[in-house]
Chains A and B, each alone.
Chain A
Amino acid sequence: MKLFIGFVTKEFYHIFRDKRSLFILFGMPIVQILLFGFAITNEINNVDIAILDHSKDATTKEIINKISTSKYFSIKQHIEREADIETVFKKGKVKAVLNFEKDFSKNLIKDYQATVQIISDATDPNTANTISNYVSSILQNYLQEQNKGIKINYVIISQPRMVYNPELKSVYMFVPGVMTIILMLVSAMMTSISITREKELGTMEILLVSPIKPFQVIIGKVFPYIFLSIINAIVIVLLSIFIFKMPVQGSLFLLGVESVLFIISALALGILISTISATQQTAMMISLMGLMLPVILLSGFIFPISSMPVPLQIISNVIPAKWFIIILKGIMLKGVGLQFIWKETLILFGMTFFFIVLSVKKYKIRLE
C-alpha cells in the first residue's frame, strides 16, 4: 500500500509539473467539446437567399414574408431577371435563390398548382440539401394553413417525427463522440507516453532492478489517469448539460460505470502501445494513428457504420469506441437502462479484460 501511494504520488508530480501534459489533460477536452459543439454543425441559421419574383402578387408576398421572418433565412436581395441568378451565385452573396413563376397566385387558384423553383448552391451539398428541405417545409406549412377548412379528398400527409433529438441538434451527435475521443486520447496516449518516458530517460532500468513487480508498476501508472479521466468525463457531461442544454435521459450512475469501463480499456491499450514502442514519439504516433483515426472514422461517430462497405463494418466491431458510443447514446439520449445495453457492455468488458491480460503479459521484465 505504501508502495502504491509512493508510486502514484510520483506520477502526479510528473503530471502536474509538465505543462504540456496538463494542457492535453484539461485544456484539450474543453476546447474540443466547444469546437465540436459550436463550429461543426449541420444546422442552418440566417442563410442569405435571393428572391426572383415574376408575379409579385399577394400569395408570393405572403410566402416571402413567411420565409424572411423565419430564423433560418434572411433575404439578401431581390433580383429581376433570370440572368442575374448566376451572377449572385458567382459573387457568393447568397446560398439559394427562390424563383416564383409568373401568375403564381392565379395558377394556384385555377389549377391548384403553382411552381416555385429552389435553386441552391451545391458546392456544399449538405447545406444545399438542408436549405431546400427547409424551404419546402415552409411552403407546405403555408399551404396547410391556407387549406384549413377546405376539404380535399385523398391527400396523404406524411408526418415525420424525429425521436430522441426532435430538433436534430448536431451537438447531440457530437457529445458522445467527442467524449469517446477525449477519454481514449487522454487515457491511451498519456499512459503510453508516461511509460515510454521511463524507458527513454533510463529510469525504467532502475525500476527493473528493484523488487517492484510489473503489475505494481502498471497499476501505479494507470491509477492517476483513471482518476483524471473520470474528472474529464464529468467536465464533458457538465459542459454538454449546461452549455449545449443536452439532457442526460438515463441514469448518471450507469453512465459513470460505463465510462470507467471504457477508460480502463483505453488505459490497457495505452500500456500495450508502450510495450511495443521505445520512444515517447513512437508511442504518440501509434496512439494518434492507430487509435484516434479508427475512433473518429470507424466508430460511427461521424459516418454511420451501416453505410460503410462490409469489410469496414466488420473491422469496426473490434474498436472499443464503437460499443462505447452506442452505450453513451443509449444512456444520454434514449435514457435506456442496462437491460438494453448489456450486450455492448459485455463486449467492452471482454475487450478490456483481454487488453489487460495481454499488456501484463507483454510487459518486459528485462531490457529487450
Chain B
Amino acid sequence: MLSAYLTMAALLFCIGLYGALAKRSTIIVLLSIELMLGAVNLNLVAFAKYGAAPALTGQIFALFTIAVAAAEVAVGIALAIALFRARGASRADEYNEMRR
C-alpha cells in the first residue's frame, strides 16, 4: 500500500510542477506550488503509518508544512496584489523588472 501512496504523491507533485512551469496566471502558479506541498504532506503521512519506523512525528511534520504553506500563500497573494496595483500585470511572465 505504501508504494501506491508514494506513486500518487509523485503524480500530484508532477502535475503541480507542470502547472507551476506552464501556467501564466500568478494565482494558478501559487496554487500549483500548494499542490506540490500537498504531495509532500501525503508522503510524510504515508511514511508515518507504513514507513520503516512508523511514528507520529510524520503527521506533526505535515502540520508544520501546512502552517508554512499558509504563510507562503498569504505573502504570495499580497505580492500579486501589490504588483497588480503597481504595474497592472497579473501574468507571471510580465514580472521582468529585475531583468531590464
Q: Are chains A and B native binding partners rather than an unrelated pairing?
A: no
Residues on A lying within 8 angstroms of B by beta carbon are: none
